[in-house]
Structure 1
Amino acid sequence: MLKGTCLCGDIKFETHATPQGASMCHCSQCRKQSGGVWSSAYVLEEEMKITGDVLWYEASASAKRGSCPRCGSFLFWKAHDENTISFALGAVDGPTGLSLEKHIFVGDKGDYYQIADGLPQRG
Structure 2
Amino acid sequence: MPETTDITGGCQCGAVRYRVVALGRSSVCHCRMCQRAFGAFYAPLVIAHGLEWTSGERRLFASSNISQRGFCGDCGTPLSLENFDDDQVEIATGTLDDPEIAPPTVQINHRYACSFADGIGGLPEPDEAAIAENEAWNATVVSRQG
Query: What is the SS of the residue equivalent to 2:33?
Result: helix
C-alpha distance 52-103 of structure 1, shift in aligned 2 (>3 A):
same
Counterpart in 1 of 2:21? 16
Q: Shift of the alpha carbon at 1:30?
A: 0.9
Query: What is the SS of the residue equivalent to 1:114?
Result: helix
Partners of 1:95 and 1:25 in 2: CA distance: 16
Query: What is the SS of the residue equivalent to 1:31?
Result: helix
Which has more radius of gyration? 2
1:49 pairs, out of 39, 52, 59, with 52
| Aligned CA-pair RMSD | 1.7
Q: Shift of the alpha carbon at 1:108?
A: 1.4
Q: Where is the helix percentage greater, Structure 1 or Structure 2?
A: 2
C-alpha distance 62-94 of structure 1, shift in aligned 2 (>3 A):
same
Partners of 2:98 and 2:65 in 1: CA distance: 34
Runs ≥4 in structure 1, deviation > 3 angstroms?
none
Counterpart in 2 of 1:6? 11
Q: Which residue identity is paired with 1:71?
A: C
Contact 2:44 2:93 in 1 (8 A): yes
Counterpart in 2 of 1:25? 29
Q: Where is the strand percentage greater, Structure 1 or Structure 2?
A: 1
2:65 pairs, out of 44, 61, 68, with 61
1:107 pairs, out of 105, 111, 115, with 111
Query: What is the SS of the residue equivalent to 1:78?
Result: strand
Partners of 1:96 and 1:16 in 2: CA distance: 16
Contact 2:93 2:102 in 1 (8 A): no
Paired residue total: 114
Identity %: 22
Query: What is the SS of the residue equivalent to 1:59?
Result: coil
Q: Which residue identity is paired with 1:16?
A: V
Contact 1:2 1:96 in 2 (8 A): no
Partners of 1:90 and 1:52 in 2: CA distance: 18
